[in-house]
Chain A
Amino acid sequence: MVVYSRLIPIFVVTGFLGSGKTTLLNHMLRHPSLKDAAVLINEFGAVGLDHFLVKKMDENTVLLASGCLCCTIRDDLKSAILELNSKRERGEVPRYKRMVVETTGLADPTPILFTLMSDPVLRNHYRLGGVITTVDAVNGLHQLDRHAESVRQATVADRIVITKSDLVETSQLAALKAHLMRINPAADYMIGRFGKIDVRRVLRADVYDPSKKAAEVKHWLDLEAIKTARDHKHIHDVNRHDEHIRSFVVTVERPLDWTAFGIWLTMLLHKHGQNVLRVKGILNVKGIDAPVIVNGVQHIVHPPLHLAAWPDDDRRSRIVFIVDDMDGTLIERSLAAFNRVGAAAA
């Protein structure tokens, strides 16, 4: 059986045009933690990447029969990874231990995540390590207002790196961060100055790395940050691309029945996967002492895994949802109803 945590992690670096993805990548790749990483990029930009293994991929997208954009296989990405993998196996390239994929600035990253998490061949060798999104402090608010792709890039992120912060006033930086936190309160926010960033903290986004998962989950469940983000006042404008995106935490008091939860979540994602942009949580599963982590992007859910211990004193199941135009109260009531069905003792 494949042990998920031993698969090669792939970090996806996304962000709008000119938001500093390549600058960030260049900085990241100089860090010792990434000296053994392979890099796949969509286009060779003006800033060259100085790294031992950089490969370009061409866009070749195959839409699956379901017709849902997020369930699209990126054939180019799959081929590029498998080609590199073959060379790695044959010893034609160094045995890289991680991979970084940079997306184009205009891309909705969800097909890339879908490809990495659902393709049966890739899943035997690789897993998604984390999604890092760059947002430009100067133009970020404008891009979020005007471009749906920019909003998608922010909602799927585990890390949001606000770049070019040295070029704006503190108040503008604070306004952008507050805006982003309303879209994605469960991400870790980092401020990049002069193209530099704490690389170790970026790589902690990998919740399936046993040495990092406890700290990462604690961050997901920073409920105060989520509440503050939700309460943050913003101007209502139905033409904004992020107007209908909201986040909330579903809390379940009684232990969850794992079977009922699986039935419920697969049904929810079957019907509403396009609108469930992220789901991340810690579950108190009936009959299991250790907490269970659940982590999904749209229709796709990572294999659930255990934490060694609870990150705080709260023993309730807590699931963070980032959704597009969905009713959080109804989701909570629905989960409780399904859980109730599986609640009887033998």
Chain B
Amino acid sequence: MEGPHWSEAGTDAARDAEVASGRQRFLERAYRVRVLNRVLERFSCKADDWTGGQYVVRSPNGAADVVTSLPQLWKAIESCSGRSADPLELELIVRLERAEPIAH
């Protein structure tokens, strides 16, 4: 069976910890969604956790798309917003430089 995407699995020590603690995994996932949504403010789209293994990407007009990993999520964000998902876009960088950090 294929494992999770590297960005979801964490580092190898963290992977062990996650196996040991379902609660820890839940908290990490919730934190990832909060950080993600801070980035997505630029795109007028939102991501929610879906059963702990997928994301739901929602557009401002209510359309929803379910994806299983971050690489898939960036494609969905581009469809949802009509914008290129580019971390080197200056406006996105400036927004994040001014944004309130997310508590872990």
Contacts and interface: CB of A to CB of B under 8 A. Distances in A.
Contact of A266 (B2, B14, B71, B88): B71
B39 A263 contact: yes
Interface in A237-287: 257-260, 262-272, 285
A343 B100 CA distance: 10
B13 interface: yes
Contact of B11 (A270, A288, A326, A344): A288
B87 A334 contact: yes
Secondary structure type dominating chain B contacts: helix
Contacts of A303: 3, 6, 9, 12
Given A303-B9, A346-B104, A264 B14 contact: no
Interface residues of B, number: 45
B99 A341 contact: yes
Contact of A345 (B3, B88, B104): B104
A288 B12 contact: no
Interface in A307-338: 326-327, 330-331, 333-334, 337-338
B86 to A, nearest CB: 5
B103 A306 contact: no
A271 B87 contact: yes
Given A266-B70, A288-B11, A259 B87 contact: no
Contacts of A326: 88
A258 B104 contact: no
Contact of A269 (B8, B71, B73, B104): B71
B82 interface: no
Contacts, number: 127
B103 A346 contact: yes
Interface string B16-60: 000100000000100110011011000000000000000000000
A341 B101 contact: yes
The size bracket of the interface on A is: 35 or more
A168 interface: no
Interface in A106-132: 120, 123-124
A259 B6 contact: no
A302 to B, nearest CB: 7
Nearest to A300: B6
B90 to A, nearest CB: 8
Contacts of B19: 1
Nearest to A342: B35
A51 B60 CA distance: 62
A327 B6 CA distance: 25
Interface of B: 1-3, 5-15, 19, 28, 31-32, 35-36, 38-39, 69-71, 73-75, 84-88, 90, 92-94, 96-97, 99-104
30 contacts: A1-B3, A4-B12, A258-B11, A259-B31, A263-B32, A266-B5, A266-B69, A267-B85, A267-B87, A268-B88, A270-B74, A271-B74, A271-B84, A271-B86, A288-B13, A302-B6, A303-B9, A304-B10, A326-B88, A327-B88, A330-B93, A333-B93, A334-B87, A337-B93, A338-B96, A340-B97, A340-B99, A341-B96, A342-B35, A342-B102
Enumerate the 4 nearest inter-chain pairs by beta-carbon distance, A residue then B residue, closest first.
A262-B7, A344-B101, A337-B96, A266-B70
